[in-house]
């Protein structure tokens, strides 16, 4: 999930991962955060879900703000399709507002 300004704006799945030992990719595409680990994103889907909605889905506290990490396995208690359905419902609700 991609987060920006108190809202989740997209989902995707990790695609290919690779080591960028010479840092060509990171120096070519983003210079502020050099890295040697790079991954691609597949099945990218735009969403519009407020932070409170995702916090409710994964049973996080209201004040929890995500970092650059995956959702903990212990927080995922439903099938992926159930999570996607909940995110889609929030997105449709936000589109109507």
d(CA 47, CA 35): 27
Q: For residue 26, how many C-alpha atoms fall within 13 Å in the half-sphere facing its CB?
A: 14
Q: Which tens digit of pLDDT belongs to each residue from 48-79?
A: 988 888 888 888 888 888 776 667 677 666 67
Q: Which two tokens stand for residue 77?
A: 């208690």
Nearest residue to 41 via CA among 6, 70, 84, 80: 70
- What pLDDT score was predicted for residue 44? 93
Alpha carbon separation from 53 to 12, 43, 44, 75, 88 (Å, rounded): 18, 21, 20, 14, 11
Mean pLDDT (the chain, rounded): 82
């Amino acid at each position: 999930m991609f987060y920006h300004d108190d809202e989740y704006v997209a989902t995707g799945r990790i695609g290919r991962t690779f080591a960028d030992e010479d840092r060509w990719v990171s120096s070519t595409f983003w210079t502020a955060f050099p890295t040697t680990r790079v991954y691609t994103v597949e099945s990218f889907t735009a969403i519009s879900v407020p932070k409170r909605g995702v916090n409710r889905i994964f049973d996080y506290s209201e004040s929890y703000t995500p970092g650059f990490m995956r959702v903990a396995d212990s927080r995922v208690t439903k099938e992926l399709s159930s999570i996607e359905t909940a995110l889609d419902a929030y997105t449709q609700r936000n589109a109507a507002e």
